[in-house]
Amino acid sequence: MGTVEPQVASGQDVKVVSSGQIVANAQSQDVTDGFHLVIDALKLNGIDTIFGLPGIPITDFTRIAQAAGMRVISFRHEQNAGNAAAIAGFMTQKPGICLTVSAPGFLNGLTALANATTNCFPMILISGSSEREIVDLQQGDYEEMDQLAIARPLAKAAFRVLNAEDIGVGIARAIRAAVSGRPGGVYLDLPAKLFPQTIDADLGKKSLIKVVDPAPKQIPAPEAVKRALDLLKGAKRPLIILGKGAAYSQADAEIRSFIEKTGVPYLPMSMAKGLLPDTHPQCASAARSFVLPEADVVMLVGARLNWLLSHGKGKTWGGKDHKAWGGQKFLQIDISPQEMDSNVRIDAPVVGDVGSCVSALLAGIGSNWPKPPAEWLGAIAERKNNNIAKLAETLAKNPTPMNFHSALAVVRDIVKANPDACLVNEGANALDFTRSIVDMYKPRKRLDVGTWGVMGIGMGFSVAAAVVSGQPVIAIEGDSAFGFSGMEVETLCRYNLPVCVVIFNNNGVYRGTDVNPTGGPDVAPTVFVKGARYDKLIEAFGGVGVHATTPAELRKAMEEALRSRKPTLINAVIDESAGTESGRITSLNPSAKKK
Ligand code: FYN
Ligand code: ADP
């Protein structure tokens, strides 16, 4: 016989009642089992929430976890549960837990696991799996799959636990792997047979590990700090780039102090927005395309020189063509030594955790560090003020129908008035316009598509952000992006979460104006049902749906959603011709390159 749903032996601390439900009993004095050891190990390490989707072989596990006082948030698709776990990890520095069933459920969770690894978010994907003896002989078990082998290349680490007495070690290793050094996604394979295994309760208790110092500080070498300060001191046009590693590190006060004491202008990457308020006088976001090629020394703080920074070279950086070096010198703070020189030479690598590195640099700058030349600061201010003034003019327009700008002028005000709210954001134009128009005021509040530009994070991130922070969440979603996780509006309603989803509905991917050149009956590949009423979706589950066609209607609906904290979905109708193909990254689109 293949995998069966593990049954909880009667006489232990839970019993199965006639409906198939289980209820908590007093824990037996003598024995414990795999279910409880996993839960106890997580709780012992301060993990109190599981994002998942029940089914064979982990249904009872979810029930017992809830009975044991853990928060178990059930989703409609594992990818969304995985995304929730990943962003919970980013927000809290504790690994977010995603729990899935075997093979197909496990596979559904893998995109989120791989995305977590890519983005350096700590999460643990725990999947039930089928019987090893049958899987390894490929005898056709229920949901047969060698999950460990499949997860390994997509995760920072992957482990399997076969014996109940090893659960403590398995969870401890998973936690350490997820949060130490460069954080990432970890896979933990728990075969069905593990859960009902019983062992002596005392032995079980002693086998659990409370992980001591799971993410040890990594102190930079003094000579690396000196080299970095020497480089920065000699700069005529210095620039600091803050990445989501800096946001993750929670060294908010040290980073702010370093930036203010040195007077160096800074550019936040998308998820580092709000680490200092975007309205800070040293913020150079509005002069991005000026500062990158003009800077002579660039200090990267938890930011990689990947595609989002044009690999540190090419025209963005003042190089003659797309491969040429712009002449900048780089100083990089990163916890991963291998990140150095990944794209261009790093002249001053500072390896360590952001908090320790920035503290060491702060100690080295003393009290009379020379401010950057006034000429540099003045040139940035001029560029920035011009761009801000131009943007203000555009935002003040009130076209009919609404466009991205007139709708985002509203969102910008609402976020300003609610700086503690999290802003989840995905799409192409909906992403790019929101990033540059909506200022953020507090750290780790902007949660978006990250390193991969992945679509589908919307509702998973929103659920986790609301659960973890207890604060309202605003999700600004392209109509295409929303579709990847849209069914989770039921989850928002089920848990009554204070999430306000705003769908920028322009009838398609990028925009809704493409036509089928053959004149045939199918619409163009990028076009959706015109005039779709996404607001009706949430009404099916008892949430508030609003159809907004003007900025005034949008403002009223958002204000009401934030006030009432009711799950709300606003269908914001945008001009269907408003979007650009691929948003701000049109240059990466091969069809654009051909032209
Ligand atoms: C920024 N800007 C501003 C402001 N902030 N103007 C006025 N006021 C304010 N506050 C200006 C900024 O100077 C830029 O203009 C422009 O707005 C855009 O700024 P942004 O967004 O910071 O910069 P840019 O060039 O778009 O950044 C490149 C990028 C970014 C690669 C980092 O595009 C990005 O994160 N993209 C992710 C895309 C993605 O993942 N898409 C999902 C797949 S979509 P200039 O300085 O004049 O240039 C599938 O198709
Ligand atoms: P962004 O996309 O915002 O530029 P990236 O994800 O590319 O950010 O870069 C984040 C970097 O931060 C990674 O190279 C990662 O190793 C690093 N990092 C993550 N956490 C820490 C930390 N606590 N201290 C130092 N570096 C960190």
The CB of 339 under 6 Å from ligand 2? The reply is: yes
- The ligand whose atoms approach the alpha carbon of 448 most closely is 1
The protein residue with its alpha carbon nearest to ligand 2, atom 5, reads: 303
What distance in Å separates the CA atoms of residue 357 and residue 349, rounded to the nearest whole number? 11
Evaluate if residue 1 carries a pLDDT over 50: no
The protein residue with its alpha carbon nearest to ligand 2, atom 23, reads: 249
pLDDT of residue 21: 41
- The ligand whose atoms approach the alpha carbon of 248 most closely is 2
pLDDT of residue 585: 82
User: Mean of the per-residue pLDDT values for the chain?
Assistant: 94
The protein residue with its alpha carbon nearest to ligand 2, atom 22, reads: 353
The CB of 274 under 6 Å from ligand 2? The reply is: no
List, for residues 533-560, the tens digit of each pLDDT value. 999 999 999 999 999 999 999 999 999 9
- Give the mean pLDDT of 402-414: 98
Residue-by-residue DSSP string for 207-237: H----SSSS---PPPHHHHHHHHHHHHT-SS
pLDDT of residue 322: 85
546 φ/ψ sector (left φ>0, alpha ψ -120 to 50, else beta): beta
- Give the mean pLDDT of 21-41: 76
Residue spans of alpha helices (H) in 263-335: 288-294
pLDDT of residue 592: 62
The CB of 405 under 6 Å from ligand 2? The reply is: no
- The ligand whose atoms approach the alpha carbon of 254 most closely is 2
pLDDT of residue 399: 95
Would you say 110 and 127 are in contact if contact means Cβ atoms under 8 Å apart? no
Tell which atom from ligand 1 comes closest to the C-alpha of 426.
Answer: 42
pLDDT of residue 81: 99
Phi, psi of 518 (to 5 degrees): -80, -15
| Ligand 2 pocket mutation pick from 336, 343, 447 by most atoms within 8 angstroms of CB | 336
The protein residue with its alpha carbon nearest to ligand 1, atom 43, reads: 453
In the chain, pLDDT over 90 holds for what percent of residues?
A: 91
The CB of 302 under 6 Å from ligand 2? The reply is: yes
Evaluate if residue 13 carries a pLDDT over 50: no
Tokens 């131009």 identify what position?
390
Tell which atom from ligand 2 comes closest to the C-alpha of 450.
Answer: 2
Q: 283 C-alpha to center of ligand 1: Å?
A: 14
List, for residues 300-344, the tens digit of each pLDDT value. 999 999 999 999 999 999 999 988 999 999 999 999 999 999 999
Q: Sign of the C-alpha dihedral, residues 490, 493, 498, 500? A: positive
Helix (H, G, I), strand (E, B) or coil at 108: helix
Tell which atom from ligand 2 comes closest to the C-alpha of 300.
Answer: 4
pLDDT of residue 489: 98
Q: 427 C-alpha to center of ligand 1: Å?
A: 13
- Give the mean pLDDT of 353-377: 96
The CB of 540 under 6 Å from ligand 1? The reply is: no
Nearest one of 297, 164, 184 to 240, comparing CA atoms: 297
What distance in Å separates the CA atoms of residue 195 and residue 37, rounded to the nearest whole number? 9
Q: 577 C-alpha to center of ligand 1: Å?
A: 20
Evaluate if residue 96 carries a pLDDT over 70: yes
pLDDT of residue 582: 82
The CB of 225 under 6 Å from ligand 1? The reply is: no
Q: 357 C-alpha to center of ligand 1: Å?
A: 28
Q: 107 C-alpha to center of ligand 2: Å?
A: 26
Question: Exposed e or buried b for every residue in 158-177, given b needs 16+ CB within 10 A?
Answer: bbbbeebbbbbbbbbbbbbb
Nearest one of 219, 210, 262, 261 to 238, comparing CA atoms: 262
Question: Exposed e or buried b for every residue in 573-583, given b needs 16+ CB within 10 A?
Answer: bbbbebbbbbb
Band the pLDDT of 84: cuts 50, 70, 90: very high
The CB of 182 under 6 Å from ligand 2? The reply is: yes
pLDDT of residue 593: 58
| Ligand 2 pocket mutation pick from 241, 308, 354, 359 by most atoms within 8 angstroms of CB | 354
pLDDT of residue 350: 99
What distance in Å separates the CA atoms of residue 313 and residue 133, rounded to the nearest whole number? 52
The CB of 308 under 6 Å from ligand 2? The reply is: yes
Residue-by-residue DSSP string for 365-385: H-S-PPPPPHHHHHHHHHHHH
pLDDT of residue 3: 42
pTM of the shown model:
0.95
Tell which atom from ligand 1 comes closest to the C-alpha of 290.
Answer: 46
List, for residues 428-473, the tens digit of each pLDDT value. 999 999 999 999 999 999 999 999 999 999 999 999 999 999 999 9
Helix (H, G, I), strand (E, B) or coil at 455: coil
The protein residue with its alpha carbon nearest to ligand 2, atom 27, reads: 245
The protein residue with its alpha carbon nearest to ligand 2, atom 7, reads: 304
Evaluate if residue 16 carries a pLDDT over 70: no
List, for residues 479-499, the tens digit of each pLDDT value. 999 999 999 999 999 999 999
- The ligand whose atoms approach the alpha carbon of 394 most closely is 1
Tell which atom from ligand 2 comes closest to the C-alpha of 336.
Answer: 16
Q: 243 C-alpha to center of ligand 2: Å?
A: 6
Q: 106 C-alpha to center of ligand 2: Å?
A: 27
Q: Which domains does the chain have, with CATH numbers?
A: 32-207 (3.40.50.970), 222-381 (3.40.50.1220), 397-594 (3.40.50.970)
Helix (H, G, I), strand (E, B) or coil at 24: strand
The CB of 582 under 6 Å from ligand 1? The reply is: yes
More confident site: 313 or 590: 313
Band the pLDDT of 23: cuts 50, 70, 90: very low
In the chain, pLDDT over 70 holds for what percent of residues?
A: 95
Nearest one of 474, 413, 466, 431 to 585, comparing CA atoms: 431
Q: 65 C-alpha to center of ligand 2: Å?
A: 33
Band the pLDDT of 115: cuts 50, 70, 90: very high
Band the pLDDT of 4: cuts 50, 70, 90: very low
* Beta-bridge partners for 300: 241, 332
The CB of 288 under 6 Å from ligand 1? The reply is: yes
The CB of 388 under 6 Å from ligand 1? The reply is: yes
pLDDT of residue 411: 98
| Ligand 2 pocket mutation pick from 217, 252, 304 by most atoms within 8 angstroms of CB | 304
The CB of 588 under 6 Å from ligand 1? The reply is: no
Measured CA angle at 93 (ends 92, 95), to 5 deg: 95
Residues 6+ away with beta carbon under 8 Å from 318: 292, 293, 294, 326, 327, 328
Tokens 């499949």 identify what position?
150
Q: 288 C-alpha to center of ligand 1: Å?
A: 8
